[in-house]
Structure 1
């Protein structure tokens, strides 16, 4: 058996293993991480690719279908309205029936809807399919965050969430060049436009991975046949010890009215505004600096996303090591705001604008995994299932507002500069809100 008597109480009242036990515990968590994280990242890579590839389709689709920038922005954002209505029910259902059935159902359904985007001919069809895609995918991201709370205690979780969310820039690194290549190479094949082929081809991985979830993913620690009885006991003991200090039995009404949850929602809203403002419009921001080829745009988008991968992993690792959350979130907020402002200042210089966008991506995408170390430090059980979904669903309304706002501003001014200034201001508000969170509440 893994010894328990070698642990002593830390300043927060939780057990702190002695060196030998710590080494064994670290080995168990490495085993769990290597088993779960690569697969969860793969799920999120294909999810995010299907969510934001409309940003590449936009480069040709708007001209083909005679859509305005505002029509695109509204359609891109309607994804999050569907997400809003179905996210909390999906997460509560996952808490009841398990991750395996929930995640598989979500991925298979959204892959079919994403492929159906190839048939879009009118703005109404575009709006309906984007709404349905959001409704289908609702629960996937908060479900994954909830799933990680089943396995990792808070002082290990920021790094795990960051590794999982590194799938966002990874999908950009590979998805950008892939989308650009498909749109150029497949244009005209069998009478279809390049963006139509892109929607079909990029939906296939989601379908295949969704089926794979059924046999690969385990619902919880106890059902994991690849763990020994001793390893299961250690993992469950750590989760139980942490949950004893949290609000485990909050009702949905209590979660909604908890001022801590409301503040977390506002902070998350700011992270989402920056994240989706950047990811949905990054191809356009790069193209308007003077880049002509869609393939070149795709290749250049890999640079900001590559910086974001490094930023997410390094900042979250530092946060877990120091067990400090607030400043590790405030600094990326400020870096993202600075990068967006500079991207507008240098919007006609490809090299300088790309450097600024890399700073913005490194900051804005690092805020999300760091943010989720805040609410998961105070919620568990049904309270976590409802709280995580509630925070994410309301905050993701920013995913509707952000691209639509940019589209309206671009139609009105023929420039995205003013929109970048607005997003920067929102990110600075996120930094101020984070500063107002008591350190003792989240630094665990």
Structure 2
């Protein structure tokens, strides 16, 4: 019998569990371990609350989680409650699937000022993640700068611009909905160091920005390349740029909130007396290789909040080699050390979509098979013994189903659930 521990219960974790089942059949036992009492990682806490169709992929993971040879063990922190070395002694293979839940730093002066918020933090706040539920973003400001040229920047912008009614059907956290309902934001700047042809925004998400009730996106026509240049773009990028061209044609429309795409602008510093008051950017141009280079011209964007959406980093775990430059675990195509592997964003960094993790998981399952782990390991009984000895309170998948049912039962009208935003609340829901 092969015993495998997977650290992290998000898409990468459950796709790997599914792949291991297909690879080894009934000859594998898999423990999926998470530091939170709730499974599904990015699906629960990272996907925008108004994108319920994307969150529905968790049903696939639930199918895997409910099989006899897969077990969910929540509320266990690997590194403090149980060490990686202990897992390696108990299991033939340990797979790290913790994703990249930390924010990448801007690396500019002033980013430590109050009012500068990383996207992982802000997204966690409006998604009800326990680590960020007490965030108090300065929403009474009239201007916000969102730095980034990807879908996360669009998600943040859309959430900041929506009316309360537009959140119907979403699972946005109650505290965030209340704060956003009182928001004073009137101007949102999406700051990108390169141009429209270099964005990583998908057509669907850009299209949503043009359908908001009280907000209108604006693009400066002079920032758009000649229309004939679009012919050489990938089809998805070309569709996205078509949306930007449409936004440029509606620049004259007035709205309660204006969303401005500030292309060819590189953040250089953030200024303010004790809090964010302005973002200083340098106008850029593209060199022959498509890289943004500064022109020396600086522009001031007045704002009371800066949201950085420039990428994520994996959190280090004691006992696992870490590449601080790349913000992920040190590995060779998923191998970290004998018996120790990583998958998903923890392996390759924050690239690709949720579905990208599926082939990644199957690749790791094939690596484990190729490495042909041998010998006897205790697996589950050994971990259960450690848990009992240390008096740890674990959450099973059936426990999670009780939390799930309680969240659904307490949902406000028009919402699929009202999430618990503290671990104590979650644990109390198991045994009310």
Q: Same fold (TM over 0.5)?
A: no
Structure number having the greater helix percentage: 1
Structure number having the greater strand percentage: 2
Q: TM-score, normalised by structure 1?
A: 0.24
